[in-house]
Amino acid sequence: MEFEKRIGVFFHKKDLLETALTHSSYANQHKNMQYNEKLEFLGDAVLQLAITEYIYKNFTDKTEGELTKLRALIVCEASLHLVAVKWHLGEHIRMSKGEEITGGRERAALLADAVEAVIAAVYLDQGMDEAKSFVLRHFMEIVDLANKNEIVLDYKTSLQEILQENGEIEIKYELIRYEGPPHRRKFYSKVVIDSITMGKGEGYSKKESEQLAAKDALKKYVRAEESHE
């Protein structure tokens, strides 16, 4: 498989990889087909162990609290999404046409879950030692970014911290509109700072749309600061 070449692992049991790359929306349209939800559960545990062991051995100057924070930055949706993009993972996932039409191949949560499923498939196919090596090969860049605190988990919190460094500023999130059927509703939100709209975002939950509005505002803030330097 092209995907095996991309991630540098060739499976003995191809069905494990097929399951890891199968979304529930696709399996629901085909009888008796396995999909990746249970593999995600297992992959999360394998990933946590591999990263915990690595940072424990290699960041000996950090306290337990600092290691916990570092691990949270490495093992999070944002980091998993970065790995998924590097793998071009969205191109290889089997999903329903409906899921694809609504942006499934680019959806961060869906891609992050699939990365965990692939990690579990490697573990089941080739054992823990290879699974740990696999994780470290593909997450070392993430470890470096996390150690430099360059991975943002919560754009809303980051925006608030930056803007309120010099005092209180009113930050409000407003729902602009929503559209689509109840099971696939899309939300459009904006962030208003001191009565000025600073960012807009859209997503398949109100929370996601607000986070992306905050991300948009952060980008504009950084550009404005750079232009003043």
Residues 203 and 141 in one domain: no
Residues 99 and 184 in one domain: no
Residue 143's identity, in one-letter code, is V
How much is the pLDDT for 229?
A: 54
Domain total in the chain: 2
How much is the pLDDT for 224?
A: 73
CATH code of the domain in which 97 resides: 1.10.1520.10
Residues 72 and 108 in one domain: yes
113 is an annotated ligand-binding site residue = yes
Residues 126 and 190 in one domain: no
Residues 132 and 217 in one domain: no
Residues 198 and 176 in one domain: yes
Residues 51 and 89 in one domain: yes
How much is the pLDDT for 108?
A: 80
Residues 159 and 107 in one domain: no
Residues of the chain with pLDDT under 50: none
Residues 11 and 113 in one domain: yes
Alpha helices in the chain (DSSP H): 2-7, 14-20, 24-27, 37-58, 64-74, 77-87, 97-101, 108-126, 128-147, 155-163, 206-228
Name the domain boundary from 113, 147, 181. Answer: 147
The domain of 159 spans 155-228
Residues 126 and 83 in one domain: yes
How much is the pLDDT for 163?
A: 79
Report d(CA 53, CA 129) in Å as an integer: 12
Q: Strand pairing of 196-203 and 186-193? A: antiparallel
Name the domain boundary from 114, 147, 180. Answer: 147
61 is an annotated ligand-binding site residue = no
Q: Is 28 helix (H, G, I), strand (E, B) or coil?
A: coil
How much is the pLDDT for 225?
A: 65
**Residues acting as catalytic residues:** 44, 116
How much is the pLDDT for 227?
A: 65
CATH code of the domain in which 197 resides: 3.30.160.20
Name the domain boundary from 97, 119, 147. Answer: 147
Residues 177 and 130 in one domain: no
How much is the pLDDT for 139?
A: 94
pTM of the model: 0.69
pLDDT digits (tens, 9 = 90+) for 180-221: 887 778 899 999 998 899 999 998 788 888 988 988 888 787
How much is the pLDDT for 222?
A: 67
Neighbours of 168 (CB within 10 A): 7
Which residues fall within 8 angstroms of residue 49, CB to CB, at 6 or more apart? 132
Residues 10 and 116 in one domain: yes
116 is an annotated ligand-binding site residue = yes
Q: Which of 57, 119, 49 is nearest to 83 (CA)?
A: 119
How much is the pLDDT for 182?
A: 79
**8 A C-beta contact, residue 50 and residue 144:** no
